[in-house]
């Protein structure tokens, strides 16, 4: 590595560290190295590996360090290895992003415990920071403190970060109470086909919000005279739609009834958080929510989001496709009961502990142990339904599981336009998946997985499914440009390695 390259990298690291407000000693502690080593790196006097550059970038939450010179992240997977031991489920990605948006309701200090350190969270933090919200990681980087300003500076919004996350759409509910005019960049995120925001608008118009979409932005105007005078009936029982309606209702001075609401895990976590802020919510876990709003919310609140059922399903699927015995701890069982019932019918050998509560005191958890099983294809098709049905985000994992089972399985992913198409990427790894139409895939098993090199699908869950198949395939596979996986999973490769996988992170220079 040339000396001038080391000097340039050193300057980038120094600038990112100073921007974060850290001393060299603080960065050294985060990297488990010495202050003198950090000093040498910043002066360009020490050779530095791509892995160390990536670690520094992650510690400083700085994409320019982790990606600017090192290129996109790839994974090299040595497959055919059995997993063993135990692994904990992390907190919910979808709950964390909803709570970050909900922090805009509060004038006081919000502390969120064990926040998932993922790209989706980082992008939202960049957006929040750009409009004046102060955030910092505390307690050795496990918890997040959020302090809003008296006035938000929406003109300074980080549009580049905003368009990389679909969660930005959930700023509409809180912002309509803070200003009469504002604009937001178009929502981005996974490439899952056309997804209209009209269900959001139908709900939020009842609070006086009118949105025009032009030139890459949502232009919002609020009429303070408009108030919901009858129950709001959501035209789509969507998670983010329900969350946006809840966020709008939380600071509405009155009682709001929301019908056909989602009762999914992230919605329940948001309701529990609103209760911690002092907002009374009736009907949590049902499709009718009654919100007793507070026009002013000024509370110092400390809240622990619950564990992620989709990550739990990912880990269970990893055990199934690699024919491993694995214990997955802190599984939110209420949101995986249908999936487990289907897997039991397919022949899955597993057991579970008695239930206990998550740190929020409300969500029920268990520890699940999965053992190698001879699976048979289910008689009925696999298809999602709103909670308490099979989770929409868990459907892709059944493609890999069905490919490990004897017989044919029909998977009907009716929610998204494109996602079923991405599942056919498993054919590159030896799968036998036939695309019947943009929503239906016929999976033939069992599969003799084979190694391959391929690009990561541009959708989070299918991308992880491809990674799991690579773990089952004998030989060495390469999965290129895995940013989409980092959007939703914290340190997934390292955590899988801790239970027996062999996955190497690398970058192109």
- Distance of alpha carbon 237 from its chain centroid, rounded? 20
For residue 472, give the nearest of 506, 495, 496, 491 by alpha carbon: 496
Cα separation, 347 vs 329, whole angstroms: 21
CB 207 within 8 Å of CB 180:
no
Q: Which strand (E) or helix (H) includes residue 133?
A: none
CB 273 within 8 Å of CB 99:
yes
Cα dihedral 345→348→353→359 (10° resolution): -90
Neighbours of 190 (CB within 10 A): 22
Q: Is the alpha carbon torsion for 67, 69, 71, 74 positive or negative?
A: negative
CA distances from 228 to 100, 222, 232, 466, 470 (A): 25, 13, 7, 46, 51
pLDDT of residue 495: 95
3-state secondary structure of 21: coil
SS3 assignment for 176-237? CCCCCEEEEECCCCCCCCCCCCHHHHHHHHHHCEEEEEECCEEEEEECCCCCCCCCEECCCC
pLDDT of residue 33: 83
Cα separation, 404 vs 458, whole angstroms: 24
The pairing of beta strand 181-185 with beta strand 301-303: unpaired
Averaged pLDDT for residues 485-494? 89
Neighbours of 291 (CB within 10 A): 26
Q: 234-288 pLDDT, tens per residue? A: 988 889 999 999 999 999 999 999 999 999 999 999 999 999 999 999 999 999 9
Averaged pLDDT for residues 190-197? 47
| Within this chain, domains 76-90+307-507 and 93-303 share the same CATH topology | yes
CB 391 within 8 Å of CB 384:
yes
Instruction: Please provide the CATH number assigned to the domain covering 3-70.
Output: 1.10.260.40
SS3 assignment for 288-321? EEEEECCCCCCCCEEECCCECHHHHHHHHHHHHH
Averaged pLDDT for residues 377-398? 93
Q: In terms of pLDDT, which residue wins out, 146 or 3? A: 146
Q: 136-180 pLDDT, tens per residue? A: 999 988 999 999 999 999 889 888 888 877 788 899 999 999 988
Q: 225-244 pLDDT, tens per residue? A: 888 889 999 988 889 999 99
CB 28 within 8 Å of CB 34:
yes
Cα separation, 2 vs 44, whole angstroms: 10
List the single range of 12-21, 81-90, 95-104, 456-465 with lowest mean pLDDT.
12-21
Q: 337-346 and 309-321 helices cross at what angle (nearest 10)?
A: 20
Q: What share of the chain is helix, strand, coil (3-state, %, to 5)?
A: 40, 25, 40
Cβ partners under 8 Å of residue 75, min gap 6: 467, 470, 478, 479, 482, 493, 503, 504, 505, 506
pLDDT of residue 67: 42
Cα separation, 125 vs 97, whole angstroms: 10
Cα separation, 93 vs 165, whole angstroms: 12
Q: 39-88 pLDDT, tens per residue? A: 888 888 888 876 777 778 777 765 444 344 456 889 999 999 999 999 99
pLDDT of residue 61: 61
CB 460 within 8 Å of CB 424:
no
14-23: long-range contacts, CB 8 A cutoff, minimum separation 24: 14/42, 16/56, 16/57, 16/60, 16/62, 16/64, 16/65, 17/42, 17/60, 19/60, 19/62, 20/60, 20/61, 20/62, 22/60
Q: How confident is the model at residue 211 (pLDDT cuts 50, 70, 90)?
A: confident
Mean pLDDT, the chain, whole residue set? 89
Cβ partners under 8 Å of residue 432, min gap 6: 403, 443, 444, 445, 447
Averaged pLDDT for residues 115-139? 91
Q: 411-464 pLDDT, tens per residue? A: 999 887 778 888 999 999 999 999 999 899 999 999 999 999 999 988 889 999
The pairing of beta strand 475-480 with beta strand 453-455: parallel
Q: Which strand (E) or helix (H) includes residue 23?
A: none
Averaged pLDDT for residues 487-493? 89
Candidates 1.10.3730.10, 3.30.300.30, 3.65.10.10, 3.30.70.3170; CATH matching 93-303:
3.65.10.10
3-state secondary structure of 504: strand
pLDDT of residue 194: 41
The structural domains of the chain, with segments of one domain joined by +, span 3-70, 76-90+307-507, 93-303
Domain range 76-90+307-507, CATH class: alpha beta
What share of the chain in percent tops pLDDT 90? 63
CB 147 within 8 Å of CB 125:
no
Neighbours of 404 (CB within 10 A): 24
């Amino acid at each position: 590595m040339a000396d001038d390259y080391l000097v340039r990298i050193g300057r980038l690291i120094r600038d990112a560290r100073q921007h974060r407000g850290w001393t060299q000693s603080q960065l050294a502690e985060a990297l488990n190295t010495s202050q003198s080593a950090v000093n040498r790196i910043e002066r360009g006097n020490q050779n530095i590996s791509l892995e160390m550059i990536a670690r520094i970038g992650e510690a400083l939450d700085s994409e320019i360090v982790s990606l600017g010179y090192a290129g996109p992240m790839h994974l090299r997977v040595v497959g055919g290895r059995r997993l063993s031991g135990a692994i904990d489920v992390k907190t919910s990605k979808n709950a964390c992003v909803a709570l970050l948006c909900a922090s805009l309701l509060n004038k006081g200090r919000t502390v969120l415990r064990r926040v998932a350190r993922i790209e989706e969270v980082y992008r939202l933090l960049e957006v929040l920071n750009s409009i004046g919200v102060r955030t910092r990681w505390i307690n050795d980087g496990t918890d997040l403190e959020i302090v809003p300003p008296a006035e938000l500076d929406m003109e300074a919004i980080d549009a580049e970060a905003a368009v990389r996350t679909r969660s930005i759409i959930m700023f509409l509910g809180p912002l309509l109470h803070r200003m009469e005019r504002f604009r937001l960049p178009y929502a981005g995120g996974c490439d899952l086909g056309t997804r209209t925001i009209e269900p959001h608008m139908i709900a939020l118009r009842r609070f006086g919000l009118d949105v025009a979409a032009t030139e890459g932005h949502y232009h919002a105007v609020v009429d303070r005279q408009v108030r919901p005078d009858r129950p709001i009936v959501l035209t789509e029982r969507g998670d983010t739609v329900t969350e946006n309606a809840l966020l709008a209702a939380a600071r509405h001075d009155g009682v709001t009834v929301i019908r056909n609401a989602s009762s999914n895990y992230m919605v329940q976590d948001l309701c529990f958080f609103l209760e911690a802020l002092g907002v009374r919510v009736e009907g949590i876990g049902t499709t009718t929510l009654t919100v007793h709003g507070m026009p002013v919310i000024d509370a110092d609140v400390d809240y622990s989001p619950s564990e992620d059922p989709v990550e739990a399903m990912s880990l269970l699927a990893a055990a199934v496709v690699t024919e491993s015995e694995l214990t997955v701890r802190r599984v939110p069982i209420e949101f995986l009961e249908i999936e487990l019932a289907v897997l039991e019918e397919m022949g899955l050998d597993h057991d579970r502990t008695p239930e206990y509560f998550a740190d929020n005191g409300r969500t029920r958890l268990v520890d699940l142990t999965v053992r190698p099983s001879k699976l048979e294809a289910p008689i009925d098709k696999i298809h999602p339904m709103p909670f308490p049905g099979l989770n929409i985000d868990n459907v892709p994992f059944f493609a890999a599981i069905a490919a490990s089972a004897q017989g044919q399985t029909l998977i009907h992913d009716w929610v998204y336009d494109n996602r079923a198409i991405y599942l056919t990427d498993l054919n590159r790894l030896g799968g036998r998946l036939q695309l019947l139409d943009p929503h239906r895939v016929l999976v033939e098993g069992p599969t003799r997985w084979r190694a391959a090199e391929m690009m990561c699908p541009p959708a989070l869950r299918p991308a992880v499914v491809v990674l799991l198949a690579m773990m089952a395939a004998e030989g060495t596979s390469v999965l290129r440009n895995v940013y989409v996986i980092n959007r939703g999973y914290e340190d997934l490769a390292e955590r899988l390695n801790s239970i027996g996988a062999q996955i190497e992170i690398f970058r192109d220079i």
